[in-house]
Structure 1
Amino acid sequence: MSTLTPAPPRAAARPPAQAPAGSRHRQTLFRWLFVVPALGYMALFFGYPLVRIILMSFQEYTPATYFTGEAPFNGLDNWRAVFSDQLFTDALWHTALFTAGSLLGQFTIGLALAVFFSRRFRLAGLVRAVLLLPWLVPMVVSAVVWRRILDQEHGVLNSALRTLGLTDGGVPWLSSPSVALLAAVLVNIWIGIPFNMVILYGGLQEIPRELYEAASLDGAGPWRTFRSVTLPMLRPVITVVLVLGFMSTVKILDLILALTDGGPADATQTLGTVTYQLSFLNLDFGQGAVVGNVLILVSAVFAVLYLRANRSDFAPGK
């Protein structure tokens, strides 16, 4: 008859050794030494200008202020003057249309080109390089060239349309209040397509080929594969493209100034051009700061919505 030998008692688990207090203080100090430069940079180049522009919107800030140093507090006078001006309301609406139309066109065409170039074929690299040219050319130069192209009398586009018999007198691309904003949107789409294409093309290259092979074995067609495999895997890249596109489009200034100068009849005035007009043409820096604060608020709201929509991506363990 066998007997069971009792197992020796386990040694009690020792609590983890704690670092000396001096070592913990040094680690905390080192952490702060790495963080402080970033905090200082943010405070100097973002915090201070933000505080200044907020304060300026409540002051009577004129060119004389730069000589006298006096900027009397005028309460909400600047805000009332801006919000009661029909030009601000129109500019807000134009900005929304311009931003939405530009983002939709740039993203749609950029994604289509990215999917097209993800297939291997001859001269693909050369064609991609040629398509990058609009993105590499300075925006003012692009706007001036397009201003010549869209000229109603001598523009290349209207000459082509007349040759094809599609129009008789030419389309008033930049001289008609009902068409000028559309023309500005089309030009901005042309400028932004290469950026969207390059970023989305890079995201497509990171999708594992095995997923497409598995979808093909399951009998999924091209559209189903694109909707169920490509778009979900491309979601983080799409988010980055849309956020960067929104931030660069909502505050655009140089394109509008060089293309239409806000006209005709203020039909292409945006928040960016109104800020420029109030601050540097009317020399009312207080009211210009009000419109600048509205732009900052719009960007902040968009950033909050972006973070809430993608908070799962920032969860621990992701």
Structure 2
Amino acid sequence: MNRVISSFRDGKGFDIALVGAALLFLGIFAGLPLVYNVVMSFQAVDMFSLGTFARPFVGFDNYIAVFSEPIFWPVMRNTVVFVVASIGGQFVIGFGLALFFTLKFPGSTYLRGLFLVSWVMPGLVVGAIWNWILAGDFGVLNFALTGLGIIEDNIFWRSDTAFSLWAVIIANIWLGTSFNMILLSVGLASIPRDLYEAAALDGANGWQRFWTITLPMMRATIGAVISLGLIFTLQQFDLFAAITSGGPANSSNVAQYWAWDFSFRQYDFAKGATISVLMIALVMVASVIYVRSTRHEVRG
């Protein structure tokens, strides 16, 4: 007992208590739901058996059933397109903005802060805003594209099967670009300025300095940004619910929305859990990549 009291006096016991409380919180609110979801993916669960434990074990039947769904491959294709296009757009635009804000000009700090507005806004609010922007008859985007002469007729972004997925991608790029910009700005700030000065003295132009100094020094940061982008993009649900609801004709349906549809529209909770487990596996892979990237960055 005296040892416990003395450990709290010197601060070590308090640190252990804080870590223990955090682990307990994660175990209850993250670990248990995760295990419950994995177990449910191997059971037959519908709206009648959800509240009971009378759930027969079916092995991999749920996974086979999900893979056998007619829209499985279209949904997977949409998911890949959504993830790759979103991450690519967020990264390229975010990197460009991060490089732009390395320049010193009046109001740069305030302007950079304005870009964070999109990141702190709830996804449903962002979806409502983009519903108005992407409206076919009176949307701002069609008005701008028509005024610039890029298109002649209005595009019905949300109801056209050729554009519905891209409508959500555009909104998601806008939502996540500022997050990429901030993380990449931190990485750029950590690069010693004397490296650029030495390269300039050796006659290297801006493009050569970018390829030989910026990109190699930003490798760990870029890995972390892409990994986090993959995690956040695979978890994106609000924009699909607010803009397209997975339609029309499943043209914008992705894995995360499909899992919700199985669980809360069709009440087939087992299949919804199965798709969620597959998504969790992808997120865990991205998390491992992120941890390895940050570890290398700390070592560097």
Normalising by structure 2, what TM-score?
Answer: 0.87
Question: For 1:138 and 1:40, how far apart are their aligned partners in 2?
Answer: 28
> In the aligned structure 2, how far is the partner of 1:293 from the partner of 1:54?
6
Letter in 2 for 1:171: I
Counterpart position of 1:219? 203
Task: Look up the match of 1:8.
Answer: none
Choose from 252, 259, 263 the match for 2:247.
263
The 8 Å contact of residues 95 and 184 in structure 2, kept in 1 or not, is answered as yes
Q: CA RMSD in A?
A: 2.6
- The one-letter code matched in structure 1 to 2:296 is D
Gaps of 5+ in 2: 1-6
* CA distance in 1 between partners of 2:136 and 2:252 (Å): 17
Of 253, 266, 272, the match for 2:256: 272
* Equivalent of residue 313 in structure 1, options 281, 296, 299: 296
Quote the Cα distance in structure 2 between the aligned partners of 1:208 and 1:283.
Answer: 56
- Where do 1:59-138 residues align within 5 Å? 59-138=43-122
Distance between the aligned counterparts of 1:100 and 1:288, measured in 2?
A: 23
Contact 1:199 1:241 in 2 (8 A): yes
Match of 1:184 in 2: 168
Mark the structure with the bigger radius of gyration. Answer: 1
Report the Cα offset of residue 264 of structure 1: 1.1
Taking the aligned partners of 2:71 and 2:295, their CA distance within structure 1 comes to: 40
The equivalent residue for 2:3 is: none
* Residue 38 of structure 1, CA deviation: 5.4
Q: How does 1:159-238 map to 2 (within 5 A)?
A: 159-238=143-222
Report whether the alignment pairs 1:240 with 2:230: no
Question: For residue 150 of structure 1, what is the aligned residue in structure 2?
Answer: 134
Q: Give the CA deviation at 1:201.
A: 1.2
Q: CA distance change for structure 1 residues 164 and 61 in 2, over 3 Å: closer, same or farther?
A: same
Q: Contact 1:53 / 1:293 at 8 angstroms: preserved in 2?
A: yes
How many Å separate the matches in 2 of 1:117 and 1:55?
48
1:307 CA displacement: 6.0
Map 1:276-315 → 2, pairs under 5 A: 276-304=260-288, 310=293, 313=296
Count of aligned pairs? 290
Ranges in structure 1 where 5+ consecutive residues have no aligned partner: 1-25
CA distance in 2, matches of 1:192, 1:67: 38
1:37 to partner: Cα distance: 5.0
Q: How far is the alpha carbon of 1:168 from its aligned partner?
A: 3.2
In terms of mean alpha carbon deviation, does 143-152 or 271-280 score higher? 143-152
Contact 2:132 2:139 in 1 (8 A): yes
Q: 8 Å contact 1:88–1:274 — kept in the other structure?
A: no
Distance 1:229 1:73 in 2: 56
**What's the CA shift for 1:311?**
9.5
CA distance in 1, matches of 2:201, 2:109: 30
Q: Secondary structure of the residue that 2:223 maps to in structure 1?
A: helix
3-state DSSP class of the match of 2:71?
helix
Q: Compute the displacement of 1:45 (Å).
A: 3.6
Letter in 2 for 1:74: V
What TM-score comes out, normalization by structure 1 length? 0.82
Q: Taking every aligned residue pair, what percent have the same amino acid on both sides?
A: 38
What's the counterpart of residue 140 of structure 1?
Answer: 124
Q: Distance in 2 between matches of 1:135 and 1:194?
A: 6
Q: 1:44 aligns with which of 6, 28, 31?
A: 28
Do the aligned residues in 1 keep the contact of 2:161 with 2:251 (CA within 8 Å)? yes
